[in-house]
Structure 1
């Protein structure tokens, strides 16, 4: 089997890790994937059954990652990583990608989907102001 690629967006927060946790909480509120309402992503990732669920199928969402790493960290685990400035400028030369630029870059291959069990995120802008966060990744299966 190969991983399934996915995309999503969420509201902007200056603290990207806090925005990631918020996106996870919202995703869990919409669908707990049969693991019981009221549990946080952190709690789920301590559950071996959740780990097995993610690593053999996944949710196709921000729930597939236990944590966000630094933009400069290597890609060697099931983590969400923000893009580096160079990665952003490669598809959005002005450094402030809009939702439309992000979508187009994913569609035409200027922005790649990461390898299986990895995710990315970047701030999205409207009229030069940060207004959202784009999330995308690939499931582990």
Structure 2
């Protein structure tokens, strides 16, 4: 099977890793996928969660255990990685992409989905101010 592409947004926080963790907590509260009463950290220590993610996944920010640095281009592992400034400017030349810019870039292929099991994120702007974070990825299956 091939991985499925997914997108979602969450509120902006200057600390992207903290924003990502918050987006995961919100997503888990909305749907725990049968892993009731478990935190995100506990999920990623559970071999049953690994099996669940690597054979299907959630198609959400829950599919990655954590965030790596934007400059880590190794593509190794199921991690969320913010785009570098250069990567953002390739599809949003002003460096201040809006939700509409992000959506259009994904739809047109100017912004690629990552490899299976990986996620990407970028800050989205409204009237030039950061307001949201766009997350996208591909399931592992």
Could you tell me the TM-score, scaled by structure 1's length? 0.98
Is 1:62 aligned to 2:61, yes or no? yes
| Alignment correspondent of 1:48 | 47
Query: Distance in 2 between the 1:67 and 1:24 partners?
Result: 10
Task: Give me the CA root mean square deviation.
Answer: 0.5
| Alignment correspondent of 1:135 | 135
Query: Distance in 2 between the 1:134 and 1:121 partners?
Result: 5
Query: Distance in 1 between the 2:67 and 2:30 partners?
Result: 21
Deviation at 1:39, TM superposition (A): 1.6
Equivalent position SS for 1:34: coil
Is 1:82 aligned to 2:91, yes or no? no
Runs of 4+ in 1 over 6 A off after TM superposition: none
Deviation at 1:71, TM superposition (A): 0.4
The correspondence of residues 1-141 of structure 1 with structure 2, limited to 5 A, is 1-36=1-36, 38-73=37-72, 74-141=74-141
Query: Distance in 1 between the 2:97 and 2:139 partners?
Result: 25
Query: Distance in 1 between the 2:15 and 2:39 partners?
Result: 19
Q: How many residues are treated as equivalent by the alignment?
A: 140
Query: Distance in 2 between the 1:21 and 1:69 partners?
Result: 12
